[in-house]
Homo-oligomer: A and B are copies of this chain.
Amino acid sequence: MRIIPALFILIVFSTTAQDINKLADKHIQDNGVQIIQDFKTLLSIPNVAYDLPNINKNAAHIIKELKKRNVETKLLRMVGTPPIVYGYYPVEGATRTLAFYVHYDGQPADKTNWTHDPWEPTYYSGPMNDGGTPIKFPESYQEINEDHRIYARSAGDDKAPVITILTALDMIQTNELDVTSNLVFFFEGQEEAGSDQLHQYLSDNRELVDEIDLWLFCDGPIHQSRKPQLVFGVRGVTGMEITTYGPNRPLHSGHYGNWAPVPGQLLSELIASMKDEEGNVIIDGFYDDVEPLSELEKQAMANIPLIDEDLKQELGINNPEGTESYNERLLRPSLTIKGLSSGNTGKLARNVVPATATAAIGMRLVKGCDPEKQKDMVEAHILKQGFHIVREDPDQETRMKYPKIAKVTRSGGYPAARTSMDLPIIQDVIERSRDVAGDDLILLPTLGGSLPLYLFTDELNKPAIILPIANHDNNQHAPDENIRIGNLWYGIKLMSALMTMEE
């Protein structure tokens, strides 16, 4: 307790990044037991998006906690949907506004696959699958180890940022530090259910979000190499189903085999024509719209650890698609056969020429690629392979007219988003995050996965980056989700640093 007054005096006059880190460490030491208890309370409220009574309890709890910390709050509601917890923390004289996006809902959980009840947080001495055992929640800071874990649904995805933000506010207020930007808290309750109303919520509340200068998406895990990271984009997503046609009903493969067209053969030939031997897409134009990286982003790429050999071992892969590294491959649009079906295989296989064969094709998009244009390219390729394209199963006239027919059912989807590392505000965030994370900090141009970040970057036209804090092995979306205590501490320090970063 004796050093606090001295530090306090220091920061009043000149609070360096190092000072704030130290104050955050001190705050964690003084309050670690309580932080963990508060997190346990938050994790105990079931939070599946369709369970509106419990979702509302989560929202109410978070609102109460924000209010305690002098945040102006508002519950944004649309009938029958999880509300958005909106918080505003104005700072006199601040010239910019940072928004912290978090989602307080979690993936549904099948309790039978979990070791403990997903909403009865359980404290572990380490990872369950590596010798960790359940121990009692700590009662003193000395009992806490950074490798301890809390197992509970949303421990990593995505309630951890809630507790770290609340704790950062506590730390700042306890130490009377200056918050340097207006802060917006935007806590969504239906991300895991697809964020179907997010677009509407944003349109209906433009006045609440228009002044925001930077969106910080507090979600996802740190890098697979266990190093902290900032992520500047996500891939977009779209897709289509393609059905090819044989006879108008399944035929006896003896009476008609070798004469009736085989839809699985036609589909295979079509799919095979889409990639070269190395796994690169050879559909005309498929890679043409990819927006190149800046020099800064190329440098950042060069500093990302290569995880290819680890991934190959972990996933039993000898020969990945393409000739570039995993990191580079994520900067290209993808085309994946997510599913194939025709007739039956295995015990149910019958001696038929099936009537149809269907492929579900998933496509990931990178910055520059338009979802509709990308699908148009695939359709142009299908035409080029001699297929007639239909939108419904073909009628007899259509069947008799065309030698090869493909039904194409396009999915919706959305574009990729990527915020430039070159923007001054982003440079500030990078610098401040590095103060917390050290030189190990990875700057990742894009995740392989998709989030509707375009709503912010393209529709609201604001920069948006992702700040992951959860451990890479947090089992998000899976049973036995967990957070490593050290990652919680990292989050508190990162939030504290960004809330107080200088312009």
Using a CB–CB cutoff of 8 Å, the interface residues on chain A facing chain B are 235, 237, 241, 245-249, 251-265, 267-275, 279, 311-313, 315-322, 326, 329-330, 332-346, 348-354, 357-360, 362, 364, 394, 396, 399-404, 447-450
Cβ of B337 and Cβ of A341 under 8 Å apart?
Answer: no
Closest residue to A245 on the B side, CB-wise? Answer: B316
Least distance between A381 CB and chain B CB atoms (Å): 14
Other-chain residue from B262, B268, B402 in contact with A321 (beta carbon distance below 8 A)? B262
Name the B residues within 8 Å of A258 (CB-CB).
321-322, 329-330, 332-336, 364, 448
Contact flag A403-B319 (CB < 8 Å), given A351-B237, A362-B257: yes
Contact flag A354-B330 (CB < 8 Å), given A241-B349, A254-B364, A258-B321: no
Seed contacts A255-B448, A268-B272; 5 additional CB < 8 Å A-B pairs: A257-B448, A267-B268, A338-B351, A339-B346, A340-B345
Other-chain residue from B273, B315, B402, B403 in contact with A249 (beta carbon distance below 8 A)? B315
In the A-B complex, the 3 residue pairs with the smallest Cβ-Cβ separation, listed nearest first, are A264-B337, A254-B449, A258-B334
Name the B residues within 8 Å of A401 (CB-CB).
318
Contact flag A253-B334 (CB < 8 Å), given A258-B321, A349-B339, A364-B258: yes
Name the B residues within 8 Å of A264 (CB-CB).
271, 337-340, 359
Other-chain residue from B329, B338, B343, B358 in contact with A360 (beta carbon distance below 8 A)? B343
Cβ of B317 and Cβ of A261 under 8 Å apart?
Answer: yes
Other-chain residue from B317, B333, B396, B404 in contact with A247 (beta carbon distance below 8 A)? B317
Least distance between A170 CB and chain B CB atoms (Å): 34
Docked Cα-Cα span, A394 to B316, in Å, equals: 10
Contacts A/B (CB < 8 Å), 16 sampled: A241-B346, A253-B338, A254-B449, A257-B448, A258-B332, A258-B364, A265-B274, A267-B340, A269-B272, A338-B343, A338-B344, A338-B354, A339-B345, A340-B342, A340-B345, A345-B360
Other-chain residue from B248, B273, B279, B330 in contact with A315 (beta carbon distance below 8 A)? B248
- Determine chain A's interface SS by DSSP, over half rule: mixed
Closest residue to A320 on the B side, CB-wise? Answer: B259
Docked Cα-Cα span, A396 to B270, in Å, equals: 31
Name the B residues within 8 Å of A399 (CB-CB).
316-318
Docked Cα-Cα span, A353 to B279, in Å, equals: 14
Docked Cα-Cα span, A332 to B274, in Å, equals: 31
Docked Cα-Cα span, A349 to B237, in Å, equals: 14
Cβ of A343 and Cβ of B345 under 8 Å apart?
Answer: no
Docked Cα-Cα span, A403 to B401, in Å, equals: 42
Contact flag A321-B237 (CB < 8 Å), given A265-B275, A343-B340: no
